[in-house]
Amino acid sequence: MGMVRRLAGMACVVWLGSAAIAAPAPPGTGTAAAPWWQHALVYEIYPRSFGDSNGDGVGDLNGITAHLDDLQKLGVDTLWIAPMYPSPQADFGYDIADYEAIDPQYGNMADFDRLQAEAKKRHLHVVLDMVMNHTSDKHTWFLASAASRDNPKADWYVWNDGIDAAGATLSAVQKRNIHDGKAPPNNWESVFGGSAWQWVPARKQFYYHRFYVQQPDLNWRNPAVEKAMFGAIRFWLDRGVDGFRLDAISTLFEDPRLRNDPIRSGTNAQGEPNLQSLYSDKLPEVHGVMRRLRAMVDAYPGQRVLIGETYEPDIAQLDAWYGTKDAPELHLPMNLQLGFGWQASFDARWFRTRLQESQQVHGQPLLVVDNHDNPRSIDRFGDGQHDVARAKVVAAALLTSRAVALTYYGAPIGMTTATPTRVEDVRDPVGITGWPKDKGRDGERTPMQWTAGPQAGFSTNPHTWLPVNPNHVTINVADESARPDSLLSWHRQLIALRRDNPALRDGAMRFLDTDNPDVLVYRRDGGDRPVLVMLNFSGKAQPLAKGLMPGKVRTLAGSDASLPATATLEGARLPAYAAWVVTPD
Ligand code: TEU
């Protein structure tokens, strides 16, 4: 998928030192020295697919509210709700038609206020998705902008006359997009295929859309755009939301000269040449917007947070998103390298290197291994035979590292990717145009599996927007809650441990036995007792290195039934695909 290509060329960096140890704070709260989000466990909710309260086959806000107790039981403390604003749903909400309202198919503002109030009662923070790069083509801003060249919003989007097609050197994508003798100004391609430029006869001009044609890019060089978008953000801050996940944040600006992006080798799923987004991504001006946004958000009471969707190929480039001490930017840029780097695999060396690097940023790290754009990690890291055992190892790495962790609905129960098998069943447009090379993102967006009953307890309607995965009869919250050895119980155990154990909560992270190709070992030092985490990524029992933790140890969490309650590590073996977390007895 996109990010796998984008992360090509990932650099190797050596871990330099250990982190400062902050004082523990009660769950869900923060102090000035250690704001709540430094210990957050974020849970991404895709509102279409979480809970359907009105039986129309599509999830809604009341459906989320109805399941807050389940989330509290799991132990997460922060909900990121993917876009629930009015939208034609061309990109399932990432095409926003009104930034200050709720899509009627998801409910209304009273439902949102209730969701937020009920969440707060349970010490759950609410983070909204904010799409600043583009709007829907049905947003009134764009409708006005597209009507003529001289309306008050004429310059709110990225418009261009194009170039004379005759005699110009054009890419194949440009050649297919000629109107009134004009070709698009450059070779830029939409992330979802085809030219990134769309002709509008009323203006006799092209507009730029990095994503779907229904998602025109805003012109961030126009100060009125920043003012309007910051106004929308304030609308929600005033309503009490705890922060935002900033969508596609790196692409706000385009090269003022609109130069051609360099061509890389190979073709994308749509059969077009791969481009390097040199002139259409990560322009330096974006950092100015981030600094101003941060200043605005920090001025609000109550520690609001900015989380960024930051696909970066290496840790230095990720670090830039934190800004500096004097000019801070994002609180929590997402580290998507461990989970989605193009070489990501279930391998001790991969996890060790990426976890080591993850600690090298100036602020608090945030690790992500699942989201609504990628096949589920249980499939990406699984081998088809030991998927749950491997998923337990991945969960342990995510939840015992010194990082804010982000998980995605369904991941804690091991929901699998259910990619459509027939093109006529695909809902995500990129899966239709890209079929069969790119089957789209429906597979990771199927309805949440609550029970073994009809529609997995998601809806009373047999026709849900995406089909319920038949494996809900075994993979569901109700059954897994009752099984102590389930993936869900493992998550609950690790989450509680991470919250209550001072070393896991705040302790420095030190890697041991660092040449071991099979077993990843690290120590967390904090409070009065260290914690040792041992993860076997191999399919064989592995001997443990000498001197990891001398004396008798007590098991805090063990993913394999054969692991003893107490043991000495000298001479002990770690079973295949086992995760073992211990502390001195
Ligand atoms: O994704 C931005 C992004 O980088 C995508 O190109 C991503 O790599 C792609 O979806 C993978 O197939 C964000 C949202 O997460 C995504 O759902 C939206 O479609 C996109 O922005 C446009 O808003």
Per-residue pLDDT reduced to its tens digit, 267-314: 988 889 999 999 999 999 999 999 999 999 999 999 999 999 999 999
Cα 278 to ligand 1 centroid, rounded to whole Å: 18
Residues in the chain, total: 585
Question: Is the CB of residue 94 below 6 angstroms from any atom belonging to ligand 1?
Answer: yes
Residue 33 is predicted with a pLDDT of: 80
Which of 84, 129, 136, 191 is the best mutation target for the ligand 1 pocket, counting ligand atoms within 8 Å of the beta carbon and taking the most? 191
DSSP structural state of residue 430 = H
| Catalytic positions, written as ranges | 247, 309
Cα 405 to ligand 1 centroid, rounded to whole Å: 20
Atom of ligand 1 nearest to the CA of 430: 12
Q: Whose CA is closest to atom 5 on ligand 1?
A: 2
Residue 28 is predicted with a pLDDT of: 59
Q: Are 174 and 263 in contact (CB under 8 A)?
A: no
- Type of residue found at 207: Y
Q: Which residues of the chain have pLDDT under 50?
A: 1-27
Atom of ligand 1 nearest to the CA of 248: 2
Residue 294 is predicted with a pLDDT of: 98
Residue 43 is predicted with a pLDDT of: 98
Question: Is the CB of residue 131 below 6 angstroms from any atom belonging to ligand 1?
Answer: yes
Residue 32 is predicted with a pLDDT of: 81
Question: Is the CB of residue 7 below 6 angstroms from any atom belonging to ligand 1?
Answer: no
Helix (H) or strand (E) holding 492: helix 487-500
Tell me, rounded to whole angstroms, the distance of Cα 579 from its chain centroid. Answer: 24
- For residue 66, give both structure tokens: 């109805």
Q: Whose CA is closest to atom 8 on ligand 1?
A: 2
Residue 31 is predicted with a pLDDT of: 84
Q: Are 393 and 382 in contact (CB under 8 A)?
A: no
Domains and CATH numbers, the chain: 8-136+222-493 (3.20.20.80), 140-208 (3.90.400.10), 509-584 (2.60.40.1180)
- For residue 296, give both structure tokens: 């605005």
Question: Is the CB of residue 379 below 6 angstroms from any atom belonging to ligand 1?
Answer: no
- For residue 32, give both structure tokens: 């000035």
Partnered with residue 515 across adjacent β-strands are: none
- For residue 194, give both structure tokens: 């085809």
Question: Is the CB of residue 80 below 6 angstroms from any atom belonging to ligand 1?
Answer: no
Q: Whose CA is closest to atom 16 on ligand 1?
A: 373
Question: Is the CB of residue 137 below 6 angstroms from any atom belonging to ligand 1?
Answer: no
Q: Give the residue among 542, 535, 551 at the shortest CA–CA distance from 572.
A: 542
Q: Which residue has the tokens 């967390």?
A: 524
DSSP structural state of residue 218 = B
- Strands of 305-308's sheet in order across: 332-333, 305-308, 243-247, 125-131, 78-81, 41-45, 404-408, 366-368
Residue 419 is predicted with a pLDDT of: 98
Q: Are 455 and 468 in contact (CB under 8 A)?
A: yes
Residue 17 is predicted with a pLDDT of: 31
> Helix (H, G, I), strand (E, B), or coil: what is residue 406?
strand
- Strands of 205-208's sheet in order across: 159-160, 205-208, 197-200
Atom of ligand 1 nearest to the CA of 3: 8
Cα 191 to ligand 1 centroid, rounded to whole Å: 8
Query: Cα separation of 499 and 556, whole Å?
Result: 13
Residue 7 is predicted with a pLDDT of: 36
Question: Is the CB of residue 357 below 6 angstroms from any atom belonging to ligand 1?
Answer: no
Atom of ligand 1 nearest to the CA of 212: 22
Q: Which residue has the tokens 């009920």?
A: 118
